[in-house]
Amino acid sequence: MTISRTPAAPLLPELIGKFRKIVGERHAITDVADIEAYVTEERNLFHGRSPLVLRPGSTAEVAAICKLASEHKIALVPQGGNTGLVGGQTPHNGEVVVSLRRLDKIREIDTASNTMTCEAGVVLQIAQQKAADVDRLFPLSLGAEGSCTIGGNLSTNAGGTAALAYGVAREMALGLEVVLADGRVLNVLSKLKKDNTGYNLHNLFIGAEGTLGIITAATLKLFPKPRSIETAFVGLKSPDAALKLLAIAQSEAANALTSFELLSEMAVDFSIRHGIDVRDPLAQKHDWYVLMELSSPGDDARTPLETILGRAMEDEIVDDAVIAANLTQRAGFWRPRDEMSSAQKPAGGSIKHDISVPVATVPTFIAEANEAVVKLIPGARPVPFGHLGDGNLHYNVSQPIGANTADYLARWHEMNAVVFEIVLRVGGAISAEHGIGVLKRDKLPDVKDKTAIELMRQLKAMLDPLGIMNPGKVL
């Protein structure tokens, strides 16, 4: 996808030398082949360009980079694990990339406060493991957790499969350290759950996608590590049935219900056919599935899970279900869900939507969207799946069998318009957990409150008057 914006000013060799002096020779990359990994992304939807990638190793180096960039009006694109899906981490017009991957220290773990202070480049999976090492849980969990970073997670306000119980990234951060566009360092790192001393500044930068400043560290909430985790794979007839199952689960399990994933038959079928080591946990195919997980700090999550499924079967809501007998089987239950995004690639082009709607409207949305996209492109194959518990669906639409992929993907914005119209009509949002980036930038003013857009622009102008922080993203 081509993004047209004013190209960044040429970077003179003398200025490259000054940047190189800040981070050291090894960490200032100018070779075109070496830069390639920083200007492409996993879906190959965007391809950028950059004359220079900087890999700072400290907050002080990030501050020096921003100060020098501000003095010379050099545009910067902060980047974490480069796993973003909306083009927010890509240098589309020749900007300098600031890779935060070397900021990878766990500065402190405080089990009394149940907090962990991480630098921005810490890989999510490492943060999870470090929490587990001290008998705690950091619950943010994403498909890209082996490569995405804490800074990127916060910059995009990532969600994931445990948001139902623990919330999204914003709700897991107590404070931040942020380098502003002019090189000043804002230190609002805090372990405090109660701090009523003025504006909550750190929340400005969560979900801002690097357009207001560069997150360099965060103090994160930790939780008691569950002693009992029980997982069920359920077959049922419809999203309406899944919604009824959700109501029973919330009634019986309350906060112990940590994941509730809705999976369409086509999504599961793609995973089984194209995924790695994926099997259907149930003996027969079903039109819809639910992957449900309960976690308890006590020793028994199985009893409430059995009660939930028993009630649902008595009420003829559930057609079949199986509970994982061990950790290996639990991992097998999650495989179809984990492989869903990548398993769509062999089926051709996929136009993807990361949307959220009120939970009660999910069945209506799916029914209307399925009808609308097939009407727009006959033979198109809707592949809805996602986090029913919080209303966040990944409403993907695969190309018709035998269609030309390029021709199909050329209708991306047409498809968006059809799907987004339904999303907005039922009171939803066009981005749930992936952010805005450039993919949804031009649509944002049409769907966001006008005063909210004005305030966002004013904040951007105040914190980044030169427009050098990830220009062209979000706004």
| Mean pLDDT, the chain, whole residue set | 94
What is the average pLDDT across 201-214?
A: 97
The Cα–Cα gap between 293 and 258 comes to: 6
Is residue 363 within 8 A of residue 262, CB to CB? The reply is no
Q: Is the pLDDT of residue 357 over 90?
A: yes
Is residue 110 within 8 A of residue 191, CB to CB? The reply is yes
Our separate counts of H helices and E strands in the chain read: 17, 19
Roughly how many angstroms between the first and final C-alpha of the chain, as a whole number? 18
Place of tokens 């990548």: 342
Which has the closest alpha carbon to 284: 268, 267, 261, 260?
268
The Cα–Cα gap between 399 and 418 comes to: 16
The Cα–Cα gap between 348 and 390 comes to: 29
What's the confidence (pLDDT) of residue 300? 86
The Cα–Cα gap between 292 and 311 comes to: 15
Q: Is the pLDDT of residue 299 over 90?
A: no
Write down the pTM of the prediction: 0.92
What's the confidence (pLDDT) of residue 362? 97
Is residue 177 within 8 A of residue 189, CB to CB? The reply is yes
Kindly indicate the confidence band of residue 93, based on its pLDDT and cuts at 50, 70 and 90: very high
The Cα–Cα gap between 339 and 273 comes to: 10
What is the average pLDDT across 385-405?
A: 95
* Token duo for residue 105: 């220290």
* Token duo for residue 52: 């220079």
Q: Is the pLDDT of residue 7 over 90?
A: no
The Cα–Cα gap between 399 and 408 comes to: 6
Rg (CA), the chain: 23
- 117-164 pLDDT, tens digit per residue, is 999 999 999 999 999 999 999 999 988 999 999 999 999 999 988 999
* Token duo for residue 275: 């995924």
- Strand, helix or coil at 395? strand
> Which long-range contacts does 105-110 make (Cβ < 8 Å, 24+ apart)?
106/130, 107/217, 109/134, 109/136, 109/222, 110/191
Q: Is the pLDDT of residue 3 over 70?
A: no
Q: Which residues contact 166 (CB under 8 A, 6 or more apart)?
A: 139, 140, 172, 223, 258
What's the confidence (pLDDT) of residue 9? 66
- Strand, helix or coil at 113? coil
The Cα–Cα gap between 309 and 327 comes to: 20
